[in-house]
Amino acid sequence: MQKPAPSDFPVHELIRERWSPRAFADKPVPQDALRSIFEAARWAPSSSNEQPWAYLVATRDDQDSFARMLSVLVEFNAHWARSAPVLAIAVAKLTFAKNDAPNRNALYDTGAATALLSVEATARGLAVHQMAGFDPEKARQVFGIPAGWEPIAALAIGYPGDPASLPAPLKDREMAPRTRKPIAEFVMAGHWGHTAPFATK
């Protein structure tokens, strides 16, 4: 299923096509595709080229690791995410490697890496659904995430599936129109709350 964004202004096709389904096809993701989407994350920009991101990844063919990954998701997400062939957790290193000083951009940079991962996935016919609904402390315990690293998001990765495979409330959300705030609400100039002149139609 495709669900292109109804953009107000022209954007690249990959941005229009990227979305976050909950229905995934029963189809494994080839290893070369996984390598490429994480290669895209590798080339994200970061403060001082620190590259503070790491990803824990579990594919469904590794049943033990996949079950442990599912166990850290909140029940609502675990219910649908079990159909995805790949689950992951994005983790950020909170300090700079060179001097152990706090890296205030670590979460921002890890988000940028995951955004590029998602665009590369879209280019390959894959979808990525990012989730805040997981237990970071349980993830830390289950996967041995060391101190100084923060689990910040879970990801379900796979080929989009049939919305009819979802229970009614989720199916309705899957089929609902995509919406976003207009850029005039968040692009400002001169002073906070003043819409940038170019941001209005």
Q: Indicate whether 179 belongs to any domain.
A: no
pLDDT reported for residue 143: 98
Q: Residues 132-166: pLDDT tens digits?
A: 999 999 999 999 999 999 999 999 999 999 999 99
The share of the chain scoring above pLDDT 70, in percent, equals 100
Which residue's entry shows tokens 């503070």? Answer: 52
Q: Residues with Cβ < 8 Å from 52, sequence gap 6 or more?
A: 46, 92, 93, 94, 103, 105, 106, 109, 110
Predicted structure pTM score: 0.95
Residue 30: give its domain's CATH number. Answer: 3.40.109.10
Q: Indicate whether 43 belongs to any domain.
A: yes
Q: Indicate whether 201 belongs to any domain.
A: no
The range of the structural domain enclosing residue 129 comes to: 21-173
33 contacts 184 by C-beta, under 8 angstroms = no
**Counted domains in the chain:** 1
DSSP of 71-85 = HTB-HHHHHHHTTSS
Residue 193 has pLDDT above 80, yes or no: yes
Which residue's entry shows tokens 């879970």? Answer: 154
Q: Indicate whether 183 belongs to any domain.
A: no
